[in-house]
Amino acid sequence: MSDFYDENSLFCTDCTSDRGLQAKIQLCSMKGNCSICHTESVYVVTFRELATWLEEIWREWYHIGEYQPVVRSDSDRVDYEQRGDEPNLLLGELVDFVRDEEEVLDTLIELMSEGDTYEVMQGGEALIDSCQCYQKRKLYLAQVEYRWEVFVRSLKHHTRYFNNSAKEFFDCLFDGIQEVHSWELPQNSQDLTNYGRRSNQPVVIEYAPRSMPIFRARKATSDKVFQAIVDDPDVELSNPPDEFATEGRMNPKGISYFYGAADRETCVAELRPSIGEQVISGEFELTEKVVLLDLTLLSTSYHRKIESMFEDDYLEKRIDRELLRQLERLIAQPVLDGDEFDYLPTQAMSEYLARHATPRIDGIVFNSVQRAGGKNIVLFPHILRKDNHSSDGFGAGQSGIKVKPESLIHHQVKRITHETTERDIVDRELAMFFDYPDDDFDYFF
């Protein structure tokens, strides 16, 4: 044991920056003189108790680092290097010491390892080996997707309306969404089509009036429709009134959302016009501030509020945050005609964001499935034309967007291209096909 500390030494809440550990120490309701900072504290815990907590976390979440082959530039021989970090470094990050106390770590590791002698004699491995590097365990892909599947089954097959479990699911998923940032963002934060790389970009983005163009298109199915759009594009090219609103990926039938795109080509492609059909597209501009959740940024997102491994619901929070990173992939799957039942999860998500999210969300951005690289923009009813909606609760009289009449363009479809995925047919059955994200195998980082 250290010359400075032993199992009865005291550790106070002021000696760590980890919120979860601070809360756990406070539950012990012990007062005493901290052995590290030497101040009288209302909340302290013994080194023995702290070591017990650390041992539980270490056994569940850390393992000896894997070895990977490395080829040196000055040799043809293949060497093997162990991945991971030294245990002292990992434990220091876990406890998040306010003061750099090497003696404290040495004492805690010794207390954590008191049962090692018996385990090693039985052929097991030491809990902590100072000669080894260690890695933090990852989440299995199945854990993340199972969380989503439970929600989808609940919505489809258990309770459709007044589904409290769906609200609780989204409460957890979008908790602190304003603190979620991404390493990816447009070079121009108002341009959704040109992406560069920079840090600290929020996924909830505020757009000022006239700061972002939004394009929307409509099929001109007859000369009468064509002329109506040209004569009054602000009405005819905008979202339809509620009574004419068909079911979409983000809206149920009878509730009108504004479906647009970040560029003209994408908004035309999203209509899936046939050869020979005519389409009119136009550019809309914002007339008021709009707050959008950019789902395309979630895959590279991180939460600025780091979850604590000392919290009882740490695993659930990890799963929810990994699920948030995978959300855009999960909801962007193409839905065939007649399978609109699969729209329920995305419709529920949109309604939650429009009605319950904090801060207020006015719309979402997500990748187009019809055009590679294209981005769709959906605006929720509360910022659209009030006279398009049957509920007095929507809007404030005027719409938050308006069309630029001079921006209308006529398109006539001349050619359609298709991109396919090929699968062999073996013994009258389709060969196995796994559509997982790049670099995802057994688990996520």
**In the chain, what are the domain boundaries?**
10-136, 155-412
> d(Cα 261, Cα 374) in Å, to the nearest integer?
8
DSSP string, 173-227: HTTTGGGEEEEEEESSTT-SS-EEEEEEEESEEEE-TTSS-EEEEEE--SHHHHH
| Residue 439 scores a pLDDT above 60 | no
pLDDT of residue 37: 93
* CA–CA dist 404, 386 (Å, integer): 20
Bridge-based pairing state of the strands 375-379 and 258-261: antiparallel
pLDDT for 445 beyond 50: no
More confident residue, 170 or 158: 170
Which residues lie across from 180 on neighbouring strands? 303
Which band of pLDDT confidence, cut at 50, 70 and 90, is reported for residue 405?
Answer: confident
More confident: 218 or 433 = 218
pLDDT band at 2 (very low <50, low <70, confident <90, very high): low
Q: Kindly tell me if the per-residue pLDDT of 122 is higher than 80.
A: no
Q: How far is CA 252 from CA 53, 242, 249, 340, 343, in A?
A: 48, 10, 8, 10, 8
At 417-434, the pLDDT tens digits run 877 778 778 777 766 544
Look at residues 49, 20, 57 and name the one whose alpha carbon lies nearest to residue 134: 57
Using the predicted structure, report yes or no on whether residue 213 has a pLDDT greater than 90.
Answer: yes
- Average of pLDDT values for 183-211? 68
Q: Which of 194-203, 262-271, 354-363 has the lowest mean pLDDT?
A: 194-203
Indicate the pLDDT class of residue 438, thresholds 50, 70 and 90.
Answer: very low
pLDDT at 237: 94
Q: Residue 298: what pLDDT?
A: 92
Residue with the two structure tokens 């920079």: 198
Please state whether the peptide bond connecting residue 273 to the residue before it is cis, i.e. omega within 30 degrees of 0: no
Strands 32-33 and 40-41: antiparallel
Q: Is the pLDDT reported for residue 188 higher than 60? A: no
pTM above 0.75, yes or no: yes
For the segment 300-347, what is each residue's pLDDT rounded down to a tens digit? 888 888 889 999 999 999 999 999 999 988 887 766 665 657 889 999
Task: Write the DSSP symbol of residue 370.
Answer: S
Work out the angle at residue 345's Cα, subtended by the Cα atoms of residues 343 and 346, and round it to the nearest 5 degrees.
Answer: 70
Question: How many distinct helices (H) and strands (E) make up the chain?
Answer: 12, 24
Q: How far apart are CA 335 and CA 368, in angstroms?
A: 13
Region of 397 (left: φ > 0; alpha: ψ -120 to 50; beta: rest) is left
**Token digits of residue 195:** 């992406």
Average pLDDT for 201-220: 94
Q: How far is CA 445 from the centre of its chain?
A: 14
pLDDT of 280: 96
Query: Residue type for 242, please?
Result: D
